[in-house]
Every structure is written in structure tokens, then in C-alpha cells.
Amino acid sequence: MANDRVFDVLIIGSGAAGLTLALRVAEKATVGVISKATIDSGSTAWAQGGIAAVLSATDSFDSHVEDTLIAGDGLCDPDVVRYTVEKGPEAIQWLIDQGMPFDTKKDGPYHLTREGGHSHRRVIHAKDATGKALKRTLDEQVRAHPNITVLESHMAVDLIRGADNSGEGPCLGAYIYDINAAKVEVFAAKATVLATGGASRVYLYSSNPDGSTGDGIAMAWRAGCRVADLEFNQFHPTCLYHPEARTYLITEAVRGEGGQLLLPDGERFMQRFDERGELAPRDVVARAIDYEIKRLGVDCVFLDISHKKDKFIKKHFPNIRKRCKKYGIDITEEAIPVVPAAHYTCGGVVTDKSGHTDVESLYCIGESSATGLHGANRMASNSLLECIVFATSAAEDILTKLDDLPPPPALRDWDESKVTDSDEEVVVSHNWDELRRTMWNYVGIVRTDKRLARAQHRVDLLQDEIQEYYGNFRVTPDLLELRNLVTVSDLIVRSALERKESRGLHYTLDYPDMAAEAKNTVLVPE
């Protein structure tokens, strides 16, 4: 029984949510930040569009609330939506105070763009690489703070409940795998925060980095936390279609600034699906593109912004222009080939407005949480807003309790006395590939009960195989991610089978209509 590291607050994840919380508590607490790779990796840096907040005199809280509720298709918590929206201007000001370089107009005010589902221009941004600028800003502040210890190339294995890890009582920390040293250590803390991002890598095609493997959701579930609404997986309508591009997102702001979706023959098609056209919510646009690709038997559709002036395109979308040019596409002259890809996990670990989970001293914030903000479909640019707002509220709650919490006791050591080094690593890669293809083919944009049943059967078999492998061999990063992916895949399929209707991001041919009553899908650990 020993603790390798002890902190007041242990934060698992180094994205916008985790680093915001770290900075918010660091003046009064020692903080450990766990990052699977480098601190500047993760989904936050990949966010292009911006952060939605009411910052214009022509906009209003009521309008932002209404837009969010409409996008959420009846499943948002109105109280949580209003809380988040009203905290938006304060969150933006805090970021500005940290040095966030948002774009400004020539006459001084910040430039606001508009994205799908928004009735006003309210998305504040840093060109077309807001996430990258945000991450750089927070990284610099975190690295400079004397009370924050950043541990890169470290990966959480499981949460620890009780000194003997009995699975009962408060969360006292986590087992953390040091990737470079290839060993598992015991990290103890008064408060533990999951800020691990989403699980879009359960799908074969995703706009997310490789680390988006649902780690926090899976660990929380194993620790006894409820999860909610995991059937709502957002597929971003427009990812660059090119054999070498893999995961490059074409921001929604391109459509917000007049980009048009075209069939291969140049015909616009979105008005046939929704009167809002290209500015319809993401689920509508993604389904429309998926339908047209399958109807025509083509590989992709096209997003065209070339009718705008070259100067405008170069100013607002410099990174997209540069990346497309790398692949031989000049967006000032021609349309961009695009396809949908898994993008955002709208459900997650059930929390309240302070980030509390069902386990004492365990918090969850950001994409891995289910706060009630997004409902059945997240509206564009509400995700980074959620990260900042709920990281702040969780930090405030932690600070009110920290002095009353006792130092963590000595915790049980990690036991690997009964495992050996694997001589069958190929099993991990094969299972990883089979799992993601299964989820893409059977639990994608359009679903049926038959497809979901096939997915459940395959996921059950994979789960048994992976658990047996995990029990016999020493852990590796790939094995840990695969274990988490199969857990979250199982939760997604189970959630999808429970919903006998089409709503938001969950569209099934067997139940094409929306039920009269909107209900959350909540799964409870046995």
C-alpha cells in the first residue's frame, strides 16, 4: 500500500475543460494534469469554428437558448441550457484575460461568425483555428503555474474507490500508466476530475484525433457511474474527402459564410431536405449528404465557397485553404470534396451543473459528460463553451470543499503478478479494426434494429475476447484504449436499442417518427 503521487486535484485529460479547471483551482490547490500524449494533443486543438456566446447587442440570451433547444430536439435540460448561455460572456472574458487572440474587426469589436442552427452571428473565433489558439493560450498558462504538474505520456487505467480499491466509497485517485517507463503507478487525490473528451474513435471514420477513445466514460462506468444518451453520436457533415487527408474537418463556418453543398453535377440539394439549407443543424445536413451519396453511388459531395472573393477566403479560412492546397485543391477556384465523419459524443457520464458524478469526489467535465446541454444534437460551437463554463463551476465546487476533505490514505498497489508480456499484439490491432468497422457499418448515421442486433452480437464477442486478453497480459496504451472503446461501443449500442423513435442524431428506419414524449436514455451499472 503506497502512493506514488499525491495531489489535491487530479485531472485526467489536458483539453480545454481540464486545463481551465486546473487554472481555476491552482491558486489554492496542488494539481496534477494527466495527458496521454503531449499537453498540446487532443481534440481541443482540432476545433476550427469557434465558441458560441451572446456578445452582440442584436443578439440575446433567449435567442441562444431557443436555438440550442431546437437543435437538441426536445432532450436538452432548459435550466442547464440557460445556465450555460448566461455564463457565456463571462467565460469569453476570462479567456480574453488569459490572452486568447480572438479575431477583431477593423473598427475594434470582435468578429463574430454564424454557424448551422444559430439565428445570429455569435461565434467568436481565431480565424479558422480557434481550438489551436485556445489550446496554445491555456498550455502556456498551465506550464507556467508553479502549483500545476503536467505529466505527459501518462494514461489512466482505472479509478480507485476505497483504499483497498473495493469499488465502494469515494474516488481517491487513479491507476496511471507511465507510457515511457511502461509501469502503472498509484496517483492519489482529494478530488479526481475526468476531462478525457469523447469517443468518436469507436467509428472507422472520424474527425477526431486517435486519442478520442472514450476513456473517461468507460472508467466512470466501471467505477459505478450512470451514463446517458450515448446513442446520440454527432457526425460532422463535412470532412475533407481525400485518400491522404484521413481526419481533416472543414469547419461549419464555411457554410456559415455562404458555402454551398453541391452534388457531383453541381446541383445544390440541401433545400430539398430543409428550408434552412446549408445552415440546418448538423444531423440534418449529415443525413442529407449520406442519403445523396448512397442514392447516387458516389464517394462524396462538394462544398463550394469559391464564389466568394479570394481576399475573403484567404482571411477567414487560411488553414483550410493551405491544407486543401496541399492535396491539390484550390478552394478559391474549386469546390471541396467532403463526406460525413463521426465528430462528437453528445451523451456521456451523468453530471449536475457542478460536474458531480454518482461517485463522491469524482467530477466529469467537457465532452465526456452528459450535462443536459446538448440533448439529442449538439449545436455548433457550444462544445468549447460547455468546457469553459462547466470547468469553472466544477472548480468553484471543488474549492469550497477542499479544506474539509482529508488527505487520501495509502492506496493498494497495482497488481500485475499474474500477467505476462503479450506475444500476440496482433490480436489488439485486429480487434480494434473489427470493432470500428462494426460500429461504422451498423451503428452509423442511419440505423435499423437488425443492424443494431448484429452490432450487439459482434461487440459482445469482442468484449469477451478483449477482457480475457486484458486479464492475462500486461497493459499497453493500445490495449487500454481498445478496452475502453469496446466498453463505450457496448453502451452506445445498448442505448440505441432502447430508443424506439427517431430523434436528433439517432435516426432509425424502423421508427422514423418522433415519440410524443422526450425521454433520456440512462444506463445504470449493475
Nearest of 211, 198, 205, 182 to residue 481 by alpha carbon: 211
Beta strands (DSSP E) in 181-335 are 183-194, 227-228, 233-240, 260-262, 301-304
| Three cell numbers, residue 305 | 465557397
The answer to whether 247 and 206 have CB atoms below 8 angstroms apart is yes
Can you tell me the distance from the alpha carbon of 190 to that of 172, in angstroms, rounded to the nearest whole number?
Answer: 6
Maximum CA extent, the chain? 68
Q: What is the pLDDT of residue 42?
A: 82
Element (H, E) at 325: helix 318-326
| Three cell numbers, residue 417 | 503478478
Q: What is the pLDDT of residue 499?
A: 98
Q: Residue 474: which residues within 8 A CB-CB, separation 6 or more?
A: 182, 416, 419, 420, 421, 422
Using CA atoms, how far residue 243 sits from 290, 301, 512, in Å, is: 19, 15, 34
Using CA atoms, how far residue 161 sits from 57, 70, 229, 364, in Å, is: 49, 39, 25, 16
Q: Do domains 5-231+346-404 and 426-518 have the same CATH topology?
A: no
Sequence letter at residue 139: D
SS3 for 443-456 is: CCCCECHHHHHHHH
Q: What is the pLDDT of residue 108?
A: 67
Can you tell me the distance from the alpha carbon of 444 to that of 361, in angstroms, rounded to the nearest whole number?
Answer: 35
Can you tell me the distance from the alpha carbon of 222 to that of 219, in angstroms, rounded to the nearest whole number?
Answer: 5
Burial (0-12, 13-18, 19+ Cβ within 10 Å), 418: exposed
Q: From first to last of the 526 residues of the chain, give the pLDDT tens digit.
A: 779 999 999 999 999 999 999 999 999 999 999 999 988 888 888 788 899 999 999 999 999 999 999 999 999 999 999 999 999 999 999 999 999 999 998 776 899 998 878 999 999 999 888 999 999 999 999 999 999 999 999 999 999 999 888 899 999 999 999 999 999 999 999 999 999 999 999 998 898 988 999 999 999 999 999 999 999 999 989 999 998 887 788 988 899 999 999 999 999 999 999 999 999 888 889 999 989 998 999 989 999 999 999 999 999 999 999 999 999 999 999 999 999 999 999 999 999 999 999 999 999 999 999 999 999 999 989 999 999 999 999 999 999 999 999 999 999 999 888 888 887 788 899 999 999 999 988 999 999 999 999 999 999 999 999 999 999 999 999 999 999 999 999 999 999 999 999 999 999 999 999 999 999 999 999 8
Q: What is the pLDDT of residue 424?
A: 77
Burial (0-12, 13-18, 19+ Cβ within 10 Å), 58: exposed
Nearest of 148, 152, 168 to residue 160 by alpha carbon: 168
The residue behind cell 439565428 is 119
In DSSP terms, which residues pair with 523 in a beta bridge?
Answer: 227
Phi and psi at 186, nearest 5°, equal: -100, 120
Using CA atoms, how far residue 453 sits from 133, 316, 345, 482, in Å, is: 43, 45, 21, 21
Q: Which CATH class is domain 237-342?
A: alpha beta
Can you tell me the distance from the alpha carbon of 48 to that of 249, in angstroms, rounded to the nearest whole number?
Answer: 8
Render the burial of 243-257: b for 16+ CB within 10 Å, e for the rest. Answer: eebebbbbbbbbbbb
Q: Residue 445: which residues within 8 A CB-CB, separation 6 or more?
A: 235, 286, 287, 290, 340, 507
Report angle CA 491, 503, 72 to the nearest 5 degrees.
95
The answer to whether 374 and 76 have CB atoms below 8 angstroms apart is yes
Using CA atoms, how far residue 443 sits from 203, 231, 293, 419, in Å, is: 9, 9, 18, 34
Q: What is the distance in angstroms between the CA of the first residue and the CA of the last residue of the chain?
A: 28
Residue 258: which region, alpha, beta or left (left: phi > 0; alpha: psi -120 to 50)? Answer: left
Q: Residue 467: which residues within 8 A CB-CB, separation 6 or more?
A: 483
> How far is CA 300 from its chain centroid?
25
Using CA atoms, how far residue 201 sits from 439, 451, 508, in Å, is: 10, 19, 22
Task: Report the CATH architecture of 5-231+346-404.
Answer: 3-Layer(bba) Sandwich (3.50)
Domain segments of the chain: what residues? 5-231+346-404, 237-342, 426-518
Fold of 426-518: Methane Monooxygenase Hydroxylase; Chain G, domain 1 (1.20.58)
Q: Residue 512: which residues within 8 A CB-CB, separation 6 or more?
A: 502
List, by residue number, the catalytic residues.
Answer: 282
Q: What is the pLDDT of residue 183?
A: 96
Render the burial of 60-88: b for 16+ CB within 10 Å, e for the rest. Answer: eeebbbebbbbbbbebbbeebbbbbbebb
Sequence letter at residue 214: G
Can you tell me the distance from the alpha carbon of 114 to that of 252, in angstroms, rounded to the nearest whole number?
Answer: 9
Residue 324 three-state SS: helix
Neighbours of 146 (CB within 10 A): 7
Q: Residue 156: which residues within 8 A CB-CB, separation 6 or more?
A: 12, 34, 174, 175, 176, 177, 196, 215, 216, 219
